[in-house]
Amino acid sequence: MNDEASGSTPILQMRDIRKAYGPVRVLEDVNLELSTGEVRCLAGENGSGKSTLIKILSGVVSADAGQVSLNGRQLGNDPMGAITAGLSVIYQDFSLFPNLSVWENIGFLTSVTSADVLHKRSARRRLAIDTLKRMQVEIDPDAPVELLPVASKQLVAIARALANRARIIVMDEPTTALTRSEVAHLLEIVSALKKEGVSFLFVSHKIEEVFAVCDTVTVLRDGSVVVEGPIGEFDTERLVEAMTGRSVDSQRLPREESQVQRPFLAASGLGRRGNFVDVDLELRPGEIVSVVGLLAPAEPNSPRPCSAT
């Protein structure tokens, strides 16, 4: 947290938020605050209520009870009101227009929220270029978004938020489809923007990232805040325990007998044109083998990398 953040009035306050879908209670009296330049992680297991809380914050879903205020002003169930008040939510699909260029996507919200409906194209293109420069990101402003790799799309979504003068950026599971170096780059950008006073609510399951970038953490379990506080008060065990409600045993499991048995499924040198090349795979009795790979745009006529462990 920067100096401005510590002890300052929260820029965002969510008070006693409650939400149920029919008989299912999704959120129970949730409180969350964010100060200027603070990066807060919203952590919790699948189904703990994180996305619902974000949707209530952005005005897309209405709460059954409770209040959301931005800069001391109460927000209603009003997505445009939330955007013009400086809130920007980046969902996992980034909500970009694939057939429009990078600059058209970055300038899109300004064309909608600006009082000047005819906000000039040249001015929006200039704004997009300046915003990418501010983020120290090199992306061709005229490239169609659909041709960009996932990591660049995400940076375009952040640039769109900044171009629209977002003061709070909410990112729902932003690193799921990124490589290690792309995650590191994203975290650098978050840290730099935080120094400019931008606040972040960062939804993540990934413990390493939480410790790398967040100042504070709020843990949701079954729709309730079980613990919150500065990240310095947590270690991995405490955080995982808060998320799962179970204590963690991080002992290594002994090597199972199955791992030294002969494989009952073995493949070697498998290939399929345009998909993968030279894949070896073995599966032994009692073993769980995961096949992992990155999301990548299909390159015409070239095989995609594929890894198996």
Ligand X SMILES: Nc1ncnc2c1ncn2[C@@H]1O[C@H](COP(=O)(O)OP(=O)(O)OP(=O)(O)O)[C@@H](O)[C@H]1O
Instruction: Please report the DSSP string for the chain in residue order.
Output: --TTTTTPPPSEEEEEEEEEETTEEEEEEEEEEE-TT-EEEEE--TTSSHHHHHHHHHTSS--SEEEEEETTEEE-S-HHHHHHTTEEEE-TTTT--TTSBHHHHHHHHHHHHSS-TT--HHHHHHHHHHHHHHTT----TTSBGGGS-HHHHHHHHHHHHHHTT-SEEEEESTTTT--HHHHHHHHHHHHHHHHTT-EEEEE---HHHHHHH-SEEEEEETTEEEEEEEGGG--HHHHHHHHHSS----PPPPPPGGGGSPPSEEEEEEEETTTEEEEEEEE-TT----EE----PPPTTSPPP-EE-
Binding span for Mg ion by CB under 5 A among 2-10, 43-51, 161-169, 281-289: 43-51
CA nearest neighbour of 53 among 26, 33, 79: 26
Binding span for ligand X by CB under 6 A among 20-28, 209-217, 278-286, 291-299: 20-28
Determine if 21 is a binding residue for ligand X (CB under 6 A): yes
Tell the smallest beta-carbon distance from residue 220 to ligand X (Å).
Answer: 7
Determine if 224 is a binding residue for Mg ion (CB under 5 A): no
Determine if 97 is a binding residue for ligand X (CB under 6 A): no
The entry of Mg ion, ligand X, none near residue 49 (CB within 5 to 8 angstroms by kind) is ligand X
Determine if 179 is a binding residue for Mg ion (CB under 5 A): no
Determine if 44 is a binding residue for ligand X (CB under 6 A): yes
Determine if 49 is a binding residue for ligand X (CB under 6 A): yes
Cβ atoms of 41 and 32 within 8 Å: the answer is no
Tell the smallest beta-carbon distance from residue 25 to ligand X (Å).
Answer: 9
Of 2, 8, 13, 51, the residue at the interface with Mg ion (CB under 5 A) is 51
The entry of Mg ion, ligand X, none near residue 52 (CB within 5 to 8 angstroms by kind) is ligand X
Tokens encoding 78? 């009003």
Binding span for ligand X by CB under 6 A among 28-36, 39-47, 101-109, 118-126: 39-47
Cβ atoms of 279 and 291 within 8 Å: the answer is no
Binding footprint of ligand X, residue count (CB under 6 A): 11
Tell the smallest beta-carbon distance from residue 50 to Mg ion (Å).
Answer: 5
In order of 106, 190, 285, 293, the CA distances from 155 in angstroms are 10, 11, 44, 21
Q: Of 47 and 98, which has the nearer Cβ to ligand X?
A: 47
Binding span for ligand X by CB under 6 A among 48-56, 163-171, 262-270, 300-308: 48-56
Determine if 47 is a binding residue for ligand X (CB under 6 A): yes
Determine if 24 is a binding residue for ligand X (CB under 6 A): yes
103 CB-near residues (< 8 Å, 6+ apart): 124, 125, 128, 129, 141, 142
Q: Of 11 and 56, which has the nearer Cβ to ligand X?
A: 56
Determine if 23 is a binding residue for ligand X (CB under 6 A): no
Tell the smallest beta-carbon distance from residue 241 to Mg ion (Å).
Answer: 21
The entry of ligand X, Mg ion, none near residue 21 (CB within 5 to 8 angstroms by kind) is ligand X
Determine if 245 is a binding residue for ligand X (CB under 6 A): no
Tell the smallest beta-carbon distance from residue 146 to Mg ion (Å).
Answer: 25
Residue nearest to Mg ion (CB): 51
| Positions in the binding site for ligand X (CB under 6 A) | 21, 24, 26, 44, 46-52
Binding residues for Mg ion, per CB under 5 A?
A: 50-51
